[in-house]
Copies of this chain bind each other. A is one copy, B any other.
Amino acid sequence: MTTAENLAQAVTPVVEDYLKTIYLMRRAHEQVKTVSLAARMKVKPSSVTAMVKALAEMGLVEHEPYYGVHLTANGERIALEVIRHHRLIELYLVEVLGFTWDEVHEEAEVLEHVISEKLEARIAAHLGHPAVDPHGDPIPKLDGTLPDTATRSLADVPERTSARLVRVCDQNAERLRYLAGLGVVPGAEVMVTAIAPFEGPVSVRVGKKIHALDRRLAQTILVED
């Protein structure tokens, strides 16, 4: 505080969104560069340049041009808080208010920025301090830690092997409805019956039916290790 950092800016919803996105991209082992961040945030690269500069001045990120952005401890704390809000809200909407898993992302996307810590606490308590949201995404703990979930995808399961689904890393509503229709949801027990060559589809048996899933889609579906 000896330096002239008194000019601290506000952590607005937009700032929270940038931090959240940076966190999630790094977590997914993507490079967080101006262009890729712009694509994720649906803004132009020049807007990212300006915002990253502001975030750096707030002490929330560090930026190495042409290399990437990463969060400081403060930035990460905020990102995890927002992600915790998001995932708690998603689960609450499904468990308590009867939403389906394809409906909750958009709703949580705005609510995550405006709920108080008190409301967050009540929601968490009401849900019994859950570990994962309806998509199987882990919910950051209050202490700012985020446990890892499985990293093995359905496309990595050997043919003729069973696996229990734990997570679906996709927030497209139509695909989520499609998967739910097939019974492909966290918790389901499935058998991989075939994996076509040349990046072809992955066939799985759910109950008595067999469904062929596009390889890229199968890669977003994670199974228990």
Tell me if B93 and A107 are in contact (CB < 8 A): no
**Among candidates B97, B103, B106, B115, residue contacting A126 with C-beta atoms closer than 8 Å:** B97
Q: Which residues of B contact A122 (CB under 8 A)?
A: 97-99
Q: Interface residues, chain A, CB within 8 Å of chain B? A: 93, 96-99, 103, 106-107, 110-111, 114-116, 118-119, 122-123, 126
Nearest-CB distance from A31 to chain B (Å)? 32
CB distance from A19 to the nearest CB of B (A): 19
Q: Is the interface of A mostly helix, strand, loop or mixed?
A: helix
- A97 B114 Cβ-Cβ under 8 A: no
**When the two chains form their complex, are residues B116 and A114 in contact, meaning their CB atoms are under 8 A apart?**
no
A-B contact pairs, 13 of them (CB 8 A): A96-B96, A96-B126, A97-B119, A97-B126, A98-B122, A99-B118, A99-B122, A106-B116, A107-B115, A107-B116, A110-B114, A111-B111, A114-B114
Residues on the B chain within 8 Å of A123, using CB: 97
State in angstroms the CA–CA spacing of A97 and B118 once bound together.
10
Give every chain B residue within 8 A of A107 (Cβ-Cβ).
Answer: 115-116, 118-119
A97 CB, min distance to chain B CBs, angstroms = 4
Report the minimum CB–CB distance from A128 to chain B (whole Å).
Answer: 14
Shortest Cβ distance from A92 into B: residue: B97
